[in-house]
C-alpha cells in the first residue's frame, strides 16, 4: 500500500506542467489575441469582421 502512494506522487510530478508550456503554438494566433481579437472556426459574428487567420490558417481572427 505504501508503494501506491509513492507511485502516485511520482506520476503527479511527471505530469506537472512546465513553466512556459502554455505558450501558443501558432504565431498568428498570438498576434490575433494580443490585439484584443478572438479566433473562431466559422464566420465571425455580425458586428465583427475577419481581420486575419489563426491556428495556421484554419480559423479566422475576428475583430470589431
* Best CA proximity match to 55, nearest among 27, 20, 36: 27
- The predicted pLDDT at position 14 comes to 73
Rg, C-alpha atoms of the chain: 19
pLDDT single digits (tens) 25-49: 788 888 999 999 999 998 999 999 9
Q: Which domains does the chain have, with CATH numbers?
A: 25-63 (3.10.360)
Question: Per-residue pLDDT for 16 more than 80?
Answer: no
Its pTM stands at: 0.59
Residue 20 Cα to chain centre, angstroms: 12
Residue range 3-16: mean pLDDT, rounded: 81
Least confident of 13-17, 30-34, 58-62: 13-17
Residues 60 and 44: beta-carbon distance below 8 Å: yes
Amino acid at each position: 500500500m505504501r508503494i501506491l502512494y509513492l507511485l502516485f506522487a511520482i506520476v503527479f510530478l511527471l505530469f506537472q506542467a512546465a513553466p512556459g508550456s502554455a505558450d501558443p503554438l501558432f504565431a498568428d494566433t498570438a498576434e490575433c489575441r494580443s490585439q484584443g481579437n478572438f479566433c473562431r472556426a466559422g464566420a465571425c459574428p455580425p458586428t465583427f469582421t475577419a481581420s486575419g487567420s489563426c491556428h495556421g490558417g484554419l480559423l479566422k481572427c475576428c475583430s470589431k
